[in-house]
């Protein structure tokens, strides 16, 4: 497993290289002139040309890419065009708020999703199943911004028990945005759990376990669910990667100082360097999460580890 993990990590290098090319070209195709935005509305053509030269935007695009890559190898992701601060500092300030919001959201999602999915699978075609799947469809269908505003209106404005938004390093500030962000993921987890667990419960070893007199709770939670977890882990890992990239809608509704808000602000300002840094970070997160998911497979199914 260690050798496999090392090979996968080495394989990150060409993947990230291709991703860097795509990200660089994509960012430079965004309409708008960042030099004009930096120079200001009243800037003359000479002022804009001077800013372009200072930022290196007057050079051919392949030269700009080489400078971009060489800077990354030296740990320099550039300087924000908007604030003048290093990109790594701008991202660093926003990463932890998004990271902890993602952790809280996934806790909600996994607990609620697994419980609903297991109940629906074991009570197939009964009222518990219908209620669970109705809840899952509702969680997927509800617009995130509407749900967030309704939760703010109820818990913050009317009852006054939770803050309306922002991050004050109190656990209360995480409840509403994390629940809003995690509800849709919980719905997906519930549907995946139900489908995968229903297939597993049909296996011969499950019938054998029941025939031997095992308690149903142990059959479901101790044997069937573990073997049904592979597709659930795959989906959960992908959802974790999406959330870790920052939720623009939730972070906007709750005024959360995360990566999603930073990305929107950077796109509006045509802050090329910050956009490039964030997109590369998102790509690296997904690649590492896929590696972690593959390693988790081996612990869930020893046959995969032996292969």
Query: Which pLDDT tens digit goes with each residue over 252-284?
Result: 889 888 888 888 888 877 788 888 888 888 888
Position 307 pLDDT exceeds 60: no
DSSP state of 86: B
Higher pLDDT, 32 or 191: 191
Q: How much of the chain exceeds pLDDT 90, in percent?
A: 16
Please state, in angstroms and rounded to a whole number, the distance separating the CA atoms of residues 157 and 181: 20
pTM, full prediction: 0.83
SS3 content of the chain, % helix, strand, coil (to 5): 80, 0, 20
Q: 278 to each of 9, 20, 94, 95, 161, how far by Cα in Å?
A: 20, 11, 10, 10, 35
In three-state secondary structure terms, 79 is: strand
Please state, in angstroms and rounded to a whole number, the distance separating the CA atoms of residues 193 and 114: 6
pLDDT tens per residue across span 203-229: 888 888 888 888 888 888 877 888 888
Q: Which of 88-97, 148-157, 206-215 has the lowest mean pLDDT?
A: 206-215
Say if residues 300 and 200 touch (Cβ distance below 8 Å).
no
Higher pLDDT, 6 or 147: 147
Interval 40-66 mean pLDDT: 82
């Amino acid at each position: 497993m260690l050798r496999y993990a090392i090979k996968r990590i080495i394989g990150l290098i060409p993947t990230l290289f291709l991703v860097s090319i795509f990200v660089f070209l994509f960012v430079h195709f965004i309409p708008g002139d960042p030099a004009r935005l930096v120079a200001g509305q009243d800037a003359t053509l000479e002022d804009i040309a001077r800013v372009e030269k200072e930022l290196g935007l007057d050079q051919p695009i392949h030269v700009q890419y080489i400078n971009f890559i060489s800077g990354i190898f030296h740990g320099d992701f550039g300087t924000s065009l908007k604030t003048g601060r290093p990109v790594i500092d701008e991202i660093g300030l926003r990463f932890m708020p998004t990271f902890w919001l993602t952790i809280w959201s996934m806790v909600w999602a996994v607990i609620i999703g697994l419980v609903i999915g297991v109940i629906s699978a074991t009570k197939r075609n009964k009222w518990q199943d219908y209620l669970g799947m109705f809840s899952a469809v509702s969680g997927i269908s509800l617009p995130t911004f509407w749900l967030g505003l309704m939760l703010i209106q109820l818990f913050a404005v009317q009852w006054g028990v939770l803050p309306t938004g922002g991050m004050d390093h109190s656990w209360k500030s995480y409840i509403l945005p994390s629940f809003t962000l995690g509800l849709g993921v919980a719905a997906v987890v519930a549907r995946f759990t139900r489908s995968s667990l229903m297939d597993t419960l049909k296996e011969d070893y499950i019938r054998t376990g029941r025939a031997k007199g095992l308690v149903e709770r142990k059959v479901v939670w101790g044997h069937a669910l573990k073997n049904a977890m592979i597709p659930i882990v795959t989906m959960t890992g992908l959802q974790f990667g999406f959330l870790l990239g920052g939720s623009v809608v939730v972070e906007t509704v709750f005024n959360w100082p995360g990566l999603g808000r930073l990305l929107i602000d950077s796109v509006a300002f045509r802050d090329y360097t910050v956009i490039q840094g964030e997109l590369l970070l998102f790509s690296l997160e997904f690649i590492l999460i896929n590696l972690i998911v593959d390693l988790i497979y081996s612990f869930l199914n020893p046959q995969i580890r032996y292969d």
